[in-house]
Structure 1
Amino acid sequence: MSTANPLEKSAVNGIRTALGIGGVVALIVGILILVWPAKTAAVVTGIIAVYAIIGGLTYAGLGIFSKSMGGWARIGHIVLGVLFIIAGAIAFANLGATAATFAVFLGILVGIMWIVEGVVALTTLSGSASKVWSVFFAIISIIAGITLLFSPLWGALVLWWLLGISLVVLGIIQIARAFTFKGL
């Protein structure tokens, strides 16, 4: 005979379902990244392009139909909407090239962030409990950032593969959690 009340049992089942669905989605996306990295990147780029077009239509609609905005605000919303729509259309025109451009951009962005993170770690050395680990982290971060700046596409591809591997591992763990989750 179960001592759990129906509300608690329903909550546990809901959590188990959410964990399972999240795990399956992570596993599938991870496998797709590892098996078809370029095609998956193109699909992600397509999703971003759809978002840009929908966002553009929203901004343009706000600019056209808003009765509370002033003239310049309306014009700004319309221009922003048109720019979003154009960006989405250009992305759709060649998803592969746009995905590669995104990859290079992200590689450069992550490279810069890693360099800054390493420099910041060095500037906080005086308050660090472990100076050796802080210096080690800073050096690795700066070297990794410089490496990404010199080869942003290669670096982005490595990060893409690491994301795929991580999603597969985390998806499997999440599915296992869904089957073993007992309660709150």
Structure 2
Amino acid sequence: MFSENFSKKLRNNVGINGLISILIGLLILFWPGRTAQVGTVLIGISFILIGVSYLVSIFALMNENPWSRFGHLLLGTVYLVAGIFSLINLAAATATLFIIIGILVGFTWITEGFVSFGFVPYSPSKPWTILSGLLSVVAGFMLLLTPLWGAMALWTLLGVVVLILGIFKLIRYFTW
């Protein structure tokens, strides 16, 4: 199977992963707003770095098509401004991020529901396929009607799932 050294490293990775998962799950469950804001800060910093890299790349494109340079200028500016604004008003940026995620997940679930309807003629269990499609469409529309609340519920669910996975990983670590 595996060498003892490799097996020990795998076991340690599972244990560390379990501890980190438990920590993240607890942070999401007990400090959901602050934890989400940390994520928003990381996204804001990423946007600033991406924007700066686009703006710096303009100087490397001196001999390129002016439209290419203009595109890099435009993208760099948009990323930079979005990153700065997300750090200036962290609460608003976090709420906006949650709303965007809620809307995207809502559209995804609606699409998934309609795709299920398309498979009904080919499904061996038509009632379950129809029920699955209906639930996806209804859940998607509910999420579109209340994207912030829906995203907050998904955030809480994520915290629960990550916490449970972390506990199971620690159990696996100690029973290895």
TM-score by length of 2: 0.92
Residues 68 and 165 (structure 1), Cα distance of their counterparts in 2 relative to 1, 3 Å cut: farther
Query: Are 1:81 and 2:80 an aligned pair?
Result: no
Q: How much does 1:66 deviate?
A: 4.2
Q: 4+ residue runs of structure 1 moved beyond 6 angstroms?
A: none
- Equivalent AA in structure 1 for residue 87 of structure 2: F
SS in 1 for 2:124: coil
Query: Are 1:38 and 2:33 an aligned pair?
Result: yes
Q: How much does 1:178 deviate?
A: 2.6
Query: Are 1:59 and 2:59 an aligned pair?
Result: no
Q: Which of the residues 125, 145, 153 maps onto 1:150?
A: 145
1:23 corresponds to: 18
- Equivalent AA in structure 2 for residue 11 of structure 1: F
SS in 2 for 1:124: helix
Deviations 1:46-82 (A, max 9, x none): 0110111111112222222346743332332232112
Q: Which of the residues 151, 156, 159 maps onto 1:161?
A: 156
8 Å Cα contact 1:115/1:142 also seen in 2:
yes
Residues 58 and 179 (structure 1), Cα distance of their counterparts in 2 relative to 1, 3 Å cut: farther
For the residues of structure 1 that align with 2:48 and 2:97, how far apart are their CA atoms? 17
Q: How many residues align structurally?
A: 176
Amino-acid identity (%)? 38
Unaligned runs of 5+ in 2: none
For the residues of structure 2 that align with 1:70 and 1:88, how far apart are their CA atoms? 27
8 Å Cα contact 1:61/1:78 also seen in 2:
no
2:134 corresponds to: 139
1:98 corresponds to: 93
